Chains A and B, each alone.
Chain A
């Protein structure tokens, strides 16, 4: 975890504008999977095309960060850049005649919505306590049983489910302003 990993997007953008190299590394680290997921899952690009999109998007982010009007809107801005580049890549391959998101299939649109949702959850998770992040990750991402969580965190097993439920409640609260 870098020293900038706890920063908000707006704070990160401010440091990037000040040419903080660690901030740039954190920005790429934070959004690399996002860009790649949009290209590969959302637009079904082949690996080499996704790699081209990846390079181009982050080059544009680097050279055009000053054009970002709202520092807190980094994620939607990167999403827009990525979608445009993906459509260009598809058009150049002859798959889409019009560089238009309306040309996406329902499945592709649903995948893009899922990616957005997944990253919104990830952002909200990052705002929770370490304990909540840990216990939610163990149960929902690592599929750990209550007994395993109880043994590893030395928490009474009878309280695990209610702890997870309370952390979910906090996650929901953190996400509500977004929805």
Chain B
């Protein structure tokens, strides 16, 4: 599915596509859409808080991040499909082929690129949600906390995909970036959930 498809498809059809026995959308696209949902929740909270001085600006940022996340849902699906096909090709091959292995590695690295950005967007949405939680109308603080929790979940899932797709556990700077985004989002969400619990 391309990015525009995610905006045009009905929720039921999207859910069916995710659960279908096929290629994308998979975990990366789902984590991107989770971050997009979280961002839209922050925008709603901001719009419902007319007394908050910077509410309109926060809503604009949240919507911009949501658009980027939807774009990444499409990009991740395409990259993951290519990687999955290369994986299957490698699994069915009878002999070791250095060129095929290199191509597979390249495709898996490309498949880590979108989740890395998704994790970063998750951290940004959690930051916006935290600001919203501190300053929004009291009625909507729980929605801000829910947005932070969703953003943290999306960031955690995306960081996990970065780790798996890169096949690394150590000091790869991309993995470190993804894990830092995950940690930032989680810390912000925990603080907000505790304060609204």
Contact = CB atoms under 8 A, between A and B. Distances in A.
A145 B124 contact: yes
Which of A164, A166, A172 has its CB near the most chain B CB atoms (within 10 A)?
A164
A172 B55 CA distance: 13
A143 interface: yes
Nearest to A148: B120
Interface of A is mostly: helix
Contact of B57 (A146, A147, A157, A165): A165
A2 B184 CA distance: 42
Nearest to B59: A165
A129 interface: no
Given A139-B64, A146-B123, A161 B131 contact: yes
B18 interface: no
Interface in A143-170: 143, 145-147, 157-158, 160-162, 164-169
Contacts, number: 49
A172 to B, nearest CB: 7
A46 to B, nearest CB: 26
A169 B64 CA distance: 16
Interface residues of B, number: 19
Contacts of A161: 58, 61, 127-128, 131
How big is chain A's contact interface, by range?
10 to 19
Interface in B171-187: 180-181, 184
Contacts of A164: 57, 61
A145 B61 contact: no
Contact of A143 (B68, B123, B180): B68
Given A147-B123, A165-B56, 14 more contacts: A145-B124, A146-B124, A147-B181, A158-B127, A160-B127, A161-B127, A161-B131, A164-B61, A165-B57, A165-B60, A166-B54, A167-B57, A169-B54, A172-B56
7 contacts: A147-B123, A147-B180, A165-B54, A165-B61, A166-B57, A168-B56, A169-B57
